[in-house]
Amino acid sequence: MEIILSGFVLGIMGSVHCAGMCGPIALSLPLYGKGAVAKVSGGLMYNIGRTVTYGIMGAFFGIIGQGLSLVGFQQWVSVIMGALMIASVLIPSLFKNVNGANIPIAGLIRKGIQKLFVKKSFGRLFFIGLLNGLLPCGLVYLAIAGAIGTGDVTTGTLFMVLFGLGTLPLMLGISLIGNLVGLKVRDRINKLIPVLVVVIGVIFMLRGLSLGIPYLSPPETKLNPQVHMKHEEGVANEAVKGACCHAEEE
């Protein structure tokens, strides 16, 4: 549970970063309808679209993590993903091009978003959000690393969905009112984001190390029960075979 909630906290704190990266899109959204209810509904459609994309990413990368878990690599995956999160803060030069703003697909996504801006409708706002969620973003990549580290498709999906929901309040506010957060407040929160990323990275590493700490670092049998059950079944089968062979010899 603490892993899933860390995705939500990362989204809340990281939404300030999102405001800087995707704020121009949120500010210029073609909100549909008249009146506060219609405007809020339009803003929600955009943010729900982003969250759906994050959820799909969480499912996809959660499957990868689950596949690694089934072959017994779950602990190492969790440790490595946590280490990458910490390294992204301590050695930022290694990840200086992580946003990939100049890659061709980013340009195609932006062109798709621009075309959707031509007409106003709730459906178009939803699809703008879907495409916006695909734009290269270092913070999203960190969340994806977390989804892989969960080692489970359901947990990975929930991690990314809660990450998206964490970004929703500020991004919705920006699309409705404009820049809600002043530069000084934004700078202060931006300074806290690296600390949060390191904390989440440490949580993932502790989880993978299986130190037996309740909730924070569960034992291997709870972290990867499927592999443990298969191992026990194998041991039981070998014991049965051995007993049968011994009986036949007698």
Q: How far apart are CA 43 and CA 187, in angstroms?
A: 25
Checking if the pLDDT of 154 tops 90, the result is yes
Q: What is the pLDDT of residues 191-202, one digit of tens each?
A: 777 888 888 888
Tell me the C-alpha distance between 203 and 217, whole Å: 8
Does residue 151 contact residue 68 with C-beta atoms inside 8 Å?
yes
Q: Which tops the pLDDT comparison, 85 or 187?
A: 85
**Which phi and psi (to 5°) does residue 217 adopt?**
-140, 75
User: What residues contact 155, with CB distance under 8 A and at least 6 apart?
Assistant: 3, 4, 62
Cα gap 78→148, rounded to integer Å: 8
Q: What is the 3-state secondary structure (H, E, C) of 52-77?
A: HHHHHHHHHHHHHHHHHHHCCCHHHH
Q: Output the average pLDDT for the chain.
A: 78
pLDDT tens-digit series, residues 137-147: 888 888 898 89
Indicate the pTM of the whole model: 0.74
Q: List Cβ neighbours of 193 (8 Å cut-off, separation of 6 or more).
A: 13, 14, 16, 17, 139
